[in-house]
């Protein structure tokens, strides 16, 4: 996913022309606006904090919304599910549950101890959603995110897979930023 937040639609169009198809935005209105200006086969990923009151309009206004990577509450999951049903999506909306692996008050996400419960709601009570996996933004250290945050997310994935009777490999992990993605890949 190429993060296109704050970039003009023309820059995203240039990346599209070069062959890229998956773009991430962190503001609902910016994603909606760009989705109307760019080709329909762009796969949009919402990667920012999403307020419940904007969730339904995001789903309805962007048919090529591929994934919401920041589901951090049951309320948001249910609003997205309802929006996907009302939009008449042909496929389930993929979502990732955001886990606050560092425990920082400034970060969104469920506590690791609440991860299984939220994933169960998404998988079992939201028929228009597909649980794609888990996401975290760990606490920074001198070189990027702390590896213990990545380890926590990996452990959460194992717990979710066991609780839902799924293969661990069926749940994606989204973690790491530009400065620490190599360490995230090792997990």
Contacts of residue 64, Cβ cutoff 8 Å, sequence gap at least 6: 35, 40, 41, 42, 43, 44
Query: Which residues in 41-55 are b (16+ Cβ under 10 Å) and which e?
Result: ebebbbbbebeeeeb
pLDDT at 77: 98
Segment 110-129 mean pLDDT? 97
pTM: 0.89
CA distance 21 to 1: 8
pLDDT at 102: 80
Among 93, 87, 160, 165, CA closest to 127: 93
What is the residue-averaged pLDDT of the chain?
89
Burial class (CB in 10 A: 0-12, 13-18, 19+), 104: middle
Is 36 within 8 Å of 64 (Cβ atoms)? Answer: no
Q: Which position has the token pair 């194992």?
A: 158
pLDDT tens, position by position, 133-178: 999 876 666 445 567 888 899 999 999 999 999 999 999 998 755 5
Confidence category of residue 184, pLDDT binned at 50, 70, 90? low
């Amino acid at each position: 996913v190429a993060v296109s937040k704050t970039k003009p639609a023309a820059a995203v169009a240039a990346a599209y022309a070069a062959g890229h198809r998956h773009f991430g935005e962190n503001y609902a209105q910016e994603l909606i606006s760009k989705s109307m200006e760019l080709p329909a086969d762009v796969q949009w990923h919402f990667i920012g904090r999403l307020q419940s009151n904007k969730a339904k309009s995001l789903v309805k206004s962007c048919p090529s919304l591929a994934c919401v990577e920041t589901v951090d509450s049951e309320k948001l999951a249910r609003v997205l599910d309802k929006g996907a049903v009302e939009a008449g999506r042909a496929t389930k909306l993929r979502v990732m549950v955001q886990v606050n692996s560092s425990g920082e008050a400034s970060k969104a996400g469920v506590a690791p101890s609440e991860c299984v419960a939220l994933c169960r709601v998404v998988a079992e009570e939201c028929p228009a959603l597909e649980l794609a996996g888990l996401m975290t933004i760990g606490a920074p250290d001198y070189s990027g995110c702390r590896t213990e945050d990545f380890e926590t997310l990996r452990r959460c994935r194992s717990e979710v897979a066991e609780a839902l009777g799924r293969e661990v490999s069926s749940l994606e992990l989204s973690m790491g930023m530009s400065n620490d993605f190599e360490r995230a890949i090792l997990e």
